[in-house]
Structures are given as structure tokens and as C-alpha cells.
Structure 1
Amino acid sequence: MNGILLHLMRHGAPTEPGLLLGHRDDAPLPAGTARCVARAEKLEFAQVFSSDLSRARIPARQIAALRKQTHRADRRWRELDFGAWDGLAPDALDPEVQARFWNDPDACAPPGGERWSQLRARVSDALLGIQRSSLVITHGGTMRAALSVLFGFDHRQVWAFELGYGALLSLRLWPETGGRLPSAQIVALDKDHG
């Protein structure tokens, strides 16, 4: 069995790049959307999923329409909820508090925000629904959570993956039965520095 392809693509640049954008619904820049659409042209997939946030949903809808495929927006593919930090520039936060979060995002979640384990649980649940080759337009933190869930990487290890705007991570999955996560292999990581 050859497995199925799962392409995880980070959305293009939002209107205000450089902020901690979790659940804040900022629109994507038109150039960022166009980049996602262009990158999808060479990919093989049967369906399109995305986060329900505009910066991921807008390019996903365009890609699905061009391919005449189904698109489903799904909250489980959202970025980590940064709570009170959502929409702030990192330099607006106390460096020590921010360092504690990056060091242990489960024990030191942002005020009113989401723990790393909660993000992993959401993404794990979404991955169980992938049964055929798919493209998912999502977020950097969500892509890292998928790597953590599928390969057992801890939160420090997943930050070694450079996932800028428009990055594409292609995986091959072998779905399991009984509610178990699929076996997976990394096929390619294209960081798209464009």
C-alpha cells in the first residue's frame, strides 16, 4: 500500500505579519494568497481542508474552486490560541514571561490562551479524519503540532522546523483503524523563502 499524501501548507503573509496571531482573524495579503494558489498547482490531492480563519480559508477556497474540489473549513486546524497575547508584537510582552511560554507551552500557556497539549489534541483529532489525499491550508503552530503528534517530537524539537509563510510540508500517511493515528513519513519540506 502506497499510503495517502497529506500536504500541510502554511497560509501566506497576513495583513500584519510579525504579530502573535492565534485565533485573531486577520485577512491574508493578496500576494500571500496568490503564492499559496501557485504552490498548490503542482500538488496531487483529492480534497482541500483549512483552518476556519481567513488567512487560511481564503486561499483554500480559491484552490478548491480552481480544482473543482470540495473545501471544508475546520476549527481544529486553527493556530494555537494566544489568548491575551493574540495580535500583540512579541516585543510588547515581558521577555521572561514569553521565555517561560516557549520553554514550556503546556505549563505556561498565555493568559486566557491554549496549552500546547490542547493544540496537539485538536490536531490529532483532525488527522484521524484524513482518509484520502488532502491539502490543508493551516498555520505554523498547527503544522508543528502535527509533526509532534505523528512523530513524537516534543515542543522544542518542532521549532527546529522552519515554517515561514507559504511553507509546504508533505507527508505520506498510512491510516490505522480503531481510532489510532496514522503511521507517517515526511516526504518533503519546502520552506518557500519567496
Structure 2
Amino acid sequence: MVARKHPTKGQTPAVTRLLILRHAVPLTDGCLAGRTDVDADCSAVDAFDWMRARIGPVQHVLSSPARRCLQTAGALKLLPDATSAALWEQDYGAWEGLAYDALPDLGRLPPAELARHRPEGGESFDDLVARTLPLLQGLARDTLIVGHAGTVRAALSMVVGPAALSFSVAPLSLTVLRRAGADWAVEAVNITAP
């Protein structure tokens, strides 16, 4: 058995809780909107009230600068302390603005290969992870992030690698991870209001 040292002043705490809330339903008219800045439908007042109670008190709130994330944070009455461009959704390049049924069919790809795939002019999931993880891994206190499905999957990749792409992430859903020392664990995924 290894004895765990308690952090001293100035050290990263031994346990950090990371709560990531995907923004409310994006108003995209059925089109893919990664970096496209669109509004969110924040009309489900009961769902927002339920989610605010489920999240509870948080020490620190960060958000993607995307309008749909900031609107979601506002509807939750949990305004961010800061925004970070590292939390933007994946840039889908030439696929941005395409109707979902017009997106190219990549066929069945193993998770690692899918994670490397980069749409023309855009980012791969691996690119998204590379820009997001330094921020997530640097968190030293309990934090709520209002972000995107890609943000949630990037966080999950700290535990399951590229298989994170297989997780469903509903709008206005909460995912919770916990870090003890350097190790992350998944506490809950895709929690939604009843």
C-alpha cells in the first residue's frame, strides 16, 4: 500500500472534481455547427432548474466562448469566471454547416483511426484533445466547464483514450470526472434532467 501525502500550501490538491455541462440544444436548423457560433434553446426552465440543483455549488466556472455555451451558463445562473478558446468545439472545416444527412460516410473505423481523421480545413478529434487537455489537466480545484460534446469527449479521453468518441453526449447533459493525484476516473456520463 502506498501512503498518499496530503498537499501542502501551493501544491495541487489530491482530489479535483471536473463537471462538464454540454450546452443546451443548439439552434442549427439540422446542420453541423462545430465552430459556427449559433444560439442555444434555453427555454426549458424546469430542466435548467433541475440541472442547477444537480450541479450544486462549484468553486470555479469556465466556459467555451461560443454563444451557445455562454447562453447556457446564463440560463443556469452560473456565470463563468473566464472563457477559454481551448474549450471550443472541434473545427469541422469543410463539413461546417452541412446538413447531418449530407455528411460524408467514413464507414466503420477503429476509434484511433477515427480520432486521427481530419475533415478538409478542420481539426481531428486528436487535435481537439491536444488543445483541450492541457487546460483540463492543469485544473487545481473543483471546476464546472460549460462546453460542447467534443469537450466532454476530450475529458473522457483522459480515461478511455480514443474510445471516448463512442460516448453519447446529449444537449444540457452533465459529465463528472474525479482526479486523485494524477489519475482521472469517470464518475458519471450524460446525466440529463428527468
Sort the TM-score into its range (normalised by shorter chain).
0.7 to 0.9
Which SS does the other structure have where 2:25 is aligned?
A: coil
Residue 166 of structure 2 corresponds to residue 160 of structure 1:
yes
Residue 38 of structure 2 corresponds to residue 45 of structure 1:
no
**1:179 counterpart residue number:** none
Residue 144 of structure 2 corresponds to residue 169 of structure 1:
no
Task: Tell me the CA shift for residue 36 of structure 1.
Answer: 4.4
Residue 85 of structure 2 corresponds to residue 75 of structure 1:
yes
Q: CA RMSD in A?
A: 2.7
Partners of 1:89 and 1:102 in 2: how far apart?
24
**1:192 counterpart residue number:** 192
Change (3 A) 1:79 1:19: same
Change (3 A) 1:28 1:7: same
Change (3 A) 1:110 1:36: farther
Q: Which runs of 4+ in 1 moved over 4 A?
A: 100-103
C-alpha contact (below 8 Å) 1:11/1:36 kept by paired residues: no
| Amino acid corresponding to residue 94 of structure 2 in structure 1 | A
Task: Tell me the CA shift for residue 90 of structure 1.
Answer: 2.4
Rg: which structure is higher? 2
Residue 134 of structure 2 corresponds to residue 125 of structure 1:
yes
Structure 2 regions of 5+ residues with no counterpart? 1-5, 7-13
Structure 1 regions of 5+ residues with no counterpart? 176-181
**Paired residue total:** 180
Q: Percent identity?
A: 27
TM-score, structure 2 as length reference:
0.79
- Residues 151-182 of structure 1: per-residue CA shift (max 9 Å, x gap): 1422xx2233221111211111235xxxxxx4
